[in-house]
Structure 1
C-alpha cells in the first residue's frame, strides 16, 4: 500500500505532463498554420508581373569623351568601340551573374547590340536560360516627351519596325540567344538633326518602338511573371517612362549594369520598386 501511495503522485505528474505536451503541440500546430498563412500572403506577390531592366556594362563608346583630352594614337583599343568593354566594364560584367541570381527570371530578352548580349551572357551560361533578341530594345534617343499626349500628331507614316538590317547570330551565340519569328530585322532608324532640334518627331519614332516593347511584354505575361530586359540607357528610361506613364523629371541616368524594376498593380498599372539597384521609396 505504501508503494502504491508513493507511485500515485508520479502517475499524476506523468498525466499532467502529457496534457501539457498535447496543448503545446496544438499551439505549435496553430502557430505553424499562422506562419504558413503569412508566408502564403508574402508569396502571393510573386504572381504579380515584374519587369526588370539592366543596362549594359561600360563600353568603349562610354569613355570616348573623357579620352578626348589625349591624342587618339594614345587611346587603348577599346576607346570608342561599341563592341568592347572597358576594364571597368569587364569588372561590372563579372558581377552581373551574382546580382541577377537574386531573382528568378522565367524570361529574358535583350537588345541585339554586342554590349547588351555580353552583359547578360555569364548569367545565361550559369542559369541555362536562353535569351530572346528584341530589336526594339536597341539604342534610341527619347526624352520625357515620349509620354506626352500630344505626341501622336508627329507620328511618322514611314515604316519603322522590321525595316532595318537583318540580325544574325554567330555560331557561338546560338546556344544562348534566339530570334523571334517577327524580330529578324532591326528597326529603321530615321534621320534627325544631331542637336535633337526635331525632338518631338524623334520621340514619336521612339514611341512607335517602345509601344512594341510593351506589346511584347503583354504577350509574354500570359506565361511569364518575372521578365528581365537587357538594353541601353536612353531606351531603358523610355521603357520605364512608358510603363509607369511618368516623365521621370529629375531622375538620374541608369548606371552601367544598374537595374530598375517595376511591379504591376491590381489595376494594371506599373509601380517603380527599384532604380539603379536600390529600392525605390514608396
Structure 2
C-alpha cells in the first residue's frame, strides 16, 4: 500500500442526508485487496444503517460468478430492505430471486489458481465491527449453510457476539444459535484466535511464494539482457507452446526455483486444510444443538 496508489474514501461515515443505508458484506473472502469498507456507526444516534454479512466470497455476495444462487440471496435481502424503506421496485421479477436464490450453491475459492498471489487476510468480523461500533450481524442463511453440513461449510470468523438477522421473521432458533456459539467459543472472540499461528505461517508462505516467483520470472525473461530480447521473450510466452518451453527451460536451468515455488504452494494448501479442519471440529458437534 505504500508503493502502489490506492483509492481512499475521504471518510467512512454515511451522509446525514441518507435516510437508510444497507450493506451486504462477504464473510468468506480471504484477499486483503478485497477487504470491505464498512460504514462507521460509532456516532449514529438512530438505527438507519444495516450492515449484514452473507456466506460466500466477494462475487458470491455481489454477483458475477456463473453459478449465482448465493448472490441472489443477498440481492433478495437488499431488495426487501429497499422496499421496506419505501422504494417502489418497478419491473422487478421478485419471484426470480426467491426461486433461484440458493445459499447452498457453489462457494468459490477467492484464492484459487493464480489468485493465490493475492495477499492473504481472512476477515476478522469481530475486530472489524468493534472498530466501527457495529453489531456483528450475520444473515440467517449463513446459519442455514452451516447446519446443513452438506457443503462442508465451516467459517472460522463467526464472532462470539454474533447476531443473526432473520430472513423473514424472528425465530427462537436464531437466539438459541447465538447463545450456543457464544458458549462454545468460551473466551475466544472467534475461531481465528485458535489458528493465529497458522495465519501467520500462511502469510509468510505467501511472501516467499511472491519472492521466488519474481526470481523465476527474472531467470525466465532475462535472456541476454537487451530490451528487444526481453520483449520478444515475453511475447513468445503468451502462446501455449511458448509457456511450456519457458517452464521447461526454467526447470532444466533453475530446478531449485521451481521446487521452492511448488513447495510454497503445497504448504499453503496444507495450512488451509489444517485451518479448515480446526473449524470443522468446532462446528460438527455444535450443529446438533443449533
Confirm or deny a common fold (TM above 0.5): no
Quick one: higher RCO (CA 8 Å, sep 6+), 1 or 2? 1
Query: TM-score scaled to structure 1, two decimals?
Result: 0.22
TM-score by length of 2: 0.22
Larger proportion of strand: 1
**Greater fraction of residues in helix:** 2
